[in-house]
A and B are shown apart, each in its own frame.
Chain A
Amino acid sequence: MKNLQCIVLVFGFILSVSTMASALRIAGPHSERVHQTTIKASLDVESHRVTAEMNLKWKNTTNDTLHEIPFHLYLNAFSSTDTVFMRESGGGQLRGDKREGDDKENFGYVIVTKLSNAQGKDLLANWQMDNSVATLSLSEPLESGQTIEFNMSFTSQLPKVFARSGHNGDTFNFVAQWFPKPSVYINGKWVNHRYHAHSEFFADFGSYDVTLTVPTDYVVGATGFLADKQQEGDLTRHHYVAEDVHDFVWTADKNFAEANQQWQGINIRLLYQEPLDEKSIQNQFDAAIASFEWFEKYVGAYPYSTMTLVQPPEDASGAGGMEYPTLVTTITDLDYSSFQHSAALVTIHEIGHNYWQGILASNEFEESWMDEGINSYTEGRILAEAMKRKNVAQFAHLSIELPMVHHASTARTPTFDPVNTNSWSFINSRAYGTNSYSKPATILNTVERVWGVEKVDLLLTAYYQQWAFKHPNTKNFLDVAKTIDVEMAQFLDDAINTTKTIDFTVVSLQSEKKHQGGGYRLLLEQQSEVTPEYTKPSKSDLYSNTVTLAYQGELTPPSIEVLLTFEDGSEETHIWQLDANKQWKTLRFESEVKLVEAIVDPRFTLLLDKDLSNNIKKERSESNQAWRWVVSLLQSMHHLINAFLPL
């Protein structure tokens, strides 16, 4: 399978020799290309308003006859305080960034001002707008295989950014979800959900040909490949082409500085805020290259020729940490750090989205875990394997690996909803976050540790090969898993589609000298006048050990290790074959040396365990290890008091 992937990659390179100046690194088409979208847009940098004309050719690639085409008008989510997005987000906030106030610059919208068909017939009367969605009723049914063409004029007013799209009130403009975007018709229905506080996006693949007119002193970054750039007086036209992508985003800021690096036919372009030192810039390129290397080795080829990394300014951090096809935003604090790797991690995370959200393109409204969750798993592997940074944070002697961070988040979130839940239907924001990011990552980390990393690699590769550019859903993912390991697939199914949980514990541990039988020896033929023989009870040199193990929940692996440690330091591993009908087991055995400790799952394979702290039990006299960290911790606090108030 890997060989086939290499052949495809090499073949792609050969095909794309002539495409050194092309949007695609590996010649397409890769997708159905449902639409061809041509936009000519101008940005008024004073009002942060985009005026545009769009030509849309949309092909009915479904088997059904369609009578309407719904559109997303995402920017209208910011039009007033009454939108679904604003209400669900408590008046306008996302990831800690809030709407700054009630001035009109904090609001935005997109409105279609003209709409006609290819023959120029006005269709505005057929356009029914309902805030962040709109429906275009077709005057004639659109048969399967037919293509329809529209011309639109629209205006997009950018809000002051707090949630992905917008401006910073100064020179920075991030123009995302800015144009009327057709919904996706899949599995016999339109997916035209509103812009919710807890959801991202879903769209069809197509081709974009976009000309952006902005002041000449502004640096522009956009989805796809810059085909042409022409200056006309104070304005410059930037002509971008993108193929086999499902979105088009762009940014313009006159404060952007730029750095570029090539990697195997991909031009990685960093648009950053000055000052930024060389080490931090290189850290970004290293993170991007490590991501591409890892994905090409374990998942599949990156088909595009460009990747633009955008660092928003500090006062526009709401635009940061977001993914779009071939363009991602990083964080405002891009400084390289040797003890925590958040700058690299965000870049790895967003580039990962170019696979799970960009190429696989699952429905993020309804199955957010398929993008965010799988990506949260792969980012940990990229950091550890490709960047050789095993710990996401390292403070002197304290090291924290990403899988354990995801475990902590998963274990601490009550399990009220399955992972596979509509993004707006979770009980609260925390549940959305955990079930979209940390829990799926923990599920995959558990699968990796229980069934082996090779099987996860096979799963990811096969999933990419079968479903790239085809909008897979959870069932498709699980079907691929079944072809690799049925037991593993069942575990994944339970973990993703149900609220089953698991918590292992060592209930008790006893180890004491074995009793030698003693007392009166009564015989059947005992004569009444003879006193029975008496031997004094004693203890032998052997130890009699009893360890009781138990679990609560149903999310069990086939078996689990139990490590038994004896007083002399020797160890024995016992494999507990789990039985759904009996959730506990008592181990009884004898040993020459005293048993002092038992650990269920000593290699921490089952990271879905709700509480790892009850997995270890020590024989009572041995349970005093807390001295080792309590005294240091208390002394540290005491020292700080003494240092700042030397009494």
Chain B
Amino acid sequence: MSTVKLLWQYKWVALITLVFEWLILAPVLLMMLRFGNKEVVVNLAQTPIGSSNFFGIFIDAFSTSPGLVYAVIAFAITVPTLILFKFALAVGTMASMHEGKWSFSQWLSLSGKHFLRAIGLLLRWLIVPAILCGLAVLVFKLFDIESAVSKIITLAVCWFLSISWLFMSLNGVARNESWSLKNGAITLFKNLHQFLLIVLVFLALFVLAKLMNWQLFVNNSDINTTLLCGVFGAFAIALFMRIVVLYWQAAHVVVWRKHWKIN
């Protein structure tokens, strides 16, 4: 089965995950909205968002009201919860994909069923980025590499290689198999060309999402844009981003199944 076909079969996962995510992030959103509406009241004609006058108002509001700080603290507390929840849903999604059919209750059950083993894998996997990124830093030192661009690109490749390894290994957890980390590595390194393709497509789609998000910001700064456009635009972009993430997960399932010749 192709990645796109699998992706389409699990399209509701993207939407429902988005709803869960927004529910988890809702306190942060509400606090920021309260801070914004109460402290950073702007007139788009005099203080367009992003303008120097907006910057002045924002800095003054930030300094005179703790609202934004509370929102940031709420975000810092929420993010680990969000990540753990999404991790459970990710392994549930992959397990469901291996079973080949999707239902809401089955998806949540699989998420709960594999969650603890997935956490175990995560803890074992943590050494992988540490080693790969550490080796990259060693190379910078040995070859006296100064270029910041080279450093960033190398570290990014190492990180995505590590992440891809994790997702390959998650297939093993989702299928109740042993030696998932080892088998994940075998699958990844014997399909490196696939890894590159997945990363390239993922990054391209991510950049597209960022551009869309940026365009939303620009439009929202315009006095003529209605708030309704802003809200629907934000929803559409967030949904698109969820589909991009689902593509990443589906691609790893497809590569795994092809490698291990699972029909």
Contacts and interface: CB of A to CB of B under 8 A. Distances in A.
Interface string A607-636: 000111111111000011111111111111
A396 B79 CA distance: 27
B43 A565 contact: yes
B28 interface: yes
Contacts of A401: 52
A121 to B, nearest CB: 59
Contacts of A15: none
A641 interface: yes
A523 interface: no
Contacts of A611: 60, 63-64
A641 B244 CA distance: 13
A625 to B, nearest CB: 5
Given A623-B41, A628-B230, A629-B49, A400 B63 contact: no
Contacts of B33: 624, 626-627, 630
Interface stretch (A260-268, A406-414, A458-466): A406-414
B220 interface: yes
Interface string B45-56: 111011111011
B257 to A, nearest CB: 19
Given A625-B36, A639-B210, A643-B206, A408 B83 contact: no
A626 B35 contact: yes
Contact of A618 (B32, B41, B89, B248): B41
Interface stretch (B1-9, B131-139, B189-197, B211-219): B211-219
B221 to A, nearest CB: 7
A603 B56 CA distance: 13
Nearest to B75: A637
Given A563-B46, A626-B32, A646-B248, A397 B25 contact: no
Interface string B220-235: 1100010100110010
A628 B227 contact: yes
Contacts of A403: 52
A624 B245 contact: no
A635 B60 contact: no
B249 A646 contact: yes
B40 interface: yes
Contacts of A144: none
A631 B230 contact: yes
Interface in B164-181: 167
Contacts of A391: 52
B121 interface: no
Contacts of A632: 213, 216-217, 220, 234
What is the interface of chain B mostly: helix, strand, loop, or mixed? Answer: helix
A589 interface: no
B119 interface: no
A634 B90 CA distance: 22
B98 interface: no
A404 interface: yes
Contacts of A617: 41
A604 interface: yes
Contacts of A565: 43, 45
Interface string B226-254: 01001100100110010011001100000
B53 A404 contact: yes
Contacts of A599: 43, 46
A530 interface: no
Interface in A460-497: none
A644 B36 CA distance: 28
A638 interface: yes
B238 A638 contact: yes
A643 B245 CA distance: 8
Contacts of A643: 206
A398 interface: yes
B231 A639 contact: no
A10 B231 CA distance: 64
B77 interface: no
B227 A647 contact: no
Interface string B69-84: 0000001000100110
A65 B103 CA distance: 101
A10 B249 CA distance: 75
Q: Which of A400, A628, A645 has the most CB of B within 10 A?
A: A628
Q: Which of A396, A412, A645 has the most CB of B within 10 A?
A: A645
A119 interface: no
A630 B25 contact: no
Nearest to A396: B214
Nearest to B160: A644
A159 B5 CA distance: 70
Contacts of B58: 613
11 contacts: A397-B50, A565-B43, A615-B57, A616-B57, A618-B41, A626-B36, A629-B217, A630-B32, A643-B206, A646-B163, A647-B89
